[in-house]
Each structure stands twice: as C-alpha cells, then as structure tokens.
Structure 1
Amino acid sequence: MRKDVLEMIEGNEDLKNYLRLQPIWYRRLTRNPHQIQKMETEAVYFFKKSIPDRVSQLTNGVQMASMMISMFQTMNAVK
C-alpha cells in the first residue's frame, strides 16, 4: 500500500477501524489507491455518521426527551 494512503488511514481512527473490519479494502487500496475516497464514504455510512443518520439520531433524542418531559408532567399532575 502506498505510504500516503497508509498515513491517511493511520490519521483517521474510523478508517483504521473500518479497514480492520473490512479487510478487502487492503487489496483494493493496494491495487487502486485512488479509491480511498470511496472507502471514506463507505466508512461514514458503516459507522452511521452520515448526515441522514445524524438527523435521525437527533430526532430520536428529541422524541425521547419529549416523552420523558410529558411523563414527568403526568406524574406531577397525579400528585
């Protein structure tokens, strides 16, 4: 694997972990080092760090907080 590609992977913890979980990328990057951008994109989706995933996580968090607030309000109204 080219040294610049290896340095880029070593500098990014997510890419390093993705490469360990998907070892086929060793071969792909050795044969075609320009596919590093494709690997970065796949790693973002694999670790659910894409924009749609983050929006979904935020929405779920807001819904959970809203449910907890309504539950506390209901408990206080009963007393």
Structure 2
Amino acid sequence: MREEVQDFLSSRQDLVYFLRNQPIWYRRLSREPYALKEFEEASKVFYGQTFPQRVDRFQNQLNMVNMMLALVTQLKN
C-alpha cells in the first residue's frame, strides 16, 4: 500500500477499523490508491453516517419519544 494512503489511514482510526472488517478494500486501495473517496463513502455507509441514515435514526428516536408520551398519558388516565 502506498505511503500516502497509509498516512491517511493512520490519521483516522475509524477507517482503519473499517479496513480490517472489509479486507477487499485493502486490496483495492493497494491497486487503486485514488479510490480513497469511494472508500470513505463506503465507511460512512458502514457506520451509518450518511444523511438518509441519520434522518431515519432521528425519526426512530422521535417515534420512540412519541410512543413513551402516549404511554404516560394512558397511565395517567
């Protein structure tokens, strides 16, 4: 693997963990070091950091709060 790719990875521990979980990316980055952007996008999907995933997580949290409020109001009555 190229030195600049190794330097980039050493600065981001989350990417190192993703690389260890997905060894195909190690092979791909060794052959295509310019694929760092794709690698970073794949890691964002893996960690749930894309915008749609964040919106879904927020919506699930709101639904949980709404359900808890409905439960509390039912228990009061």
Which residue of structure 2 lines up, in the alignment, with residue 32 of structure 1? 32
Tell me the amino acid that sits aligned with residue 54 of structure 1.
Answer: R
TM-score, normalised via structure 2 length: 0.92
Kindly tell me the number of residue pairs found equivalent between the two proteins: 77
Please report the RMSD computed on the Cα atoms of aligned residues, expressed in angstroms: 1.0
| CA distance in structure 2 between the aligned counterparts of 1:3 and 1:22, rounded to whole angstroms | 20
Q: Unmatched 5+ residue regions in structure 1?
A: none
Equivalent position of 1:67 in the other structure = 67
In the alignment, the residues of structure 2 paired with residue 10 and residue 51 of structure 1 have an alpha-carbon distance, to the nearest angstrom, of: 25
Q: 1:6 aligns to what?
A: 6
Structure 2 CA distance, aligned partners of 1:51 and 1:12? 20
TM-score (ref. length: structure 1): 0.90
Q: What is aligned with 2:76?
A: 76
- How high is the sequence identity, in percent, across the aligned residues? 34
Structure index of larger Rg? 1
Letter in 2 for 1:15: L
